[in-house]
Chain A
């Protein structure tokens, strides 16, 4: 079955460490996205990519970095510069970026202590 796989489901890190969240899709979608979800807030866009080797900052990109070397993969690195990294991170994709429904992975819950 086609879908989006995020791993791991739970991730624990010490403050000051960088951590990379994995996102892989086999839907052959061009566009991929990273969102952050915090209690009581709507999803906020971190980064998005509409094509391989290209990506754009979203609303809250500070302290995060991404790469898009392959169509299937869009890993997110949470750096030590991110002031409040504990959150639920969601990866999504859609075929061409506009006017098509988003498909989401099951998320990674990151806890930084």
Chain B
């Protein structure tokens, strides 16, 4: 059974810093890995989807990497802004559909 872990559960950084969020998974037989953002009391917004054959995807200040063999993904956020404050969740898609991590709650300090 796939398990997805995100550490740390919470992270605070000053505005302007670059930061990395981590995601690990136990079963490397995946179709893709997805990163989402969730604001308090809201649904999830898709940020990036990395196919299993890809190593990374970029969108604006966001860059996600995937190392399937080691069961790890990172989400890099450049030049953080207060508007980046949210919970970031990763999810892996395999035979068991999407398995979600519990998220990292990110706070950007102005």
List A residues at the B interface (Cβ < 8 Å): 4, 6, 40-45, 48, 58, 90, 92, 98-107, 109
Contacts and interface: CB of A to CB of B under 8 A. Distances in A.
Most chain B CB within 10 A, of A6, A41, A43, A90, is at A43
A48 B102 CA distance: 21
B34 A48 contact: no
Main secondary structure of the interface of A (DSSP, over half): loop
B99 A42 contact: yes
B81 interface: no
A90 B97 contact: no
A60 B91 CA distance: 18
Contacts, number: 55
Interface of B: 4, 31-32, 34, 36, 41-46, 49, 51, 89, 91, 93, 97-103
Given A42-B89, A45-B97, A104-B45, 15 more contacts: A4-B43, A42-B91, A42-B102, A42-B103, A43-B98, A48-B97, A58-B97, A90-B43, A98-B93, A100-B49, A101-B46, A101-B49, A102-B44, A105-B43, A106-B42
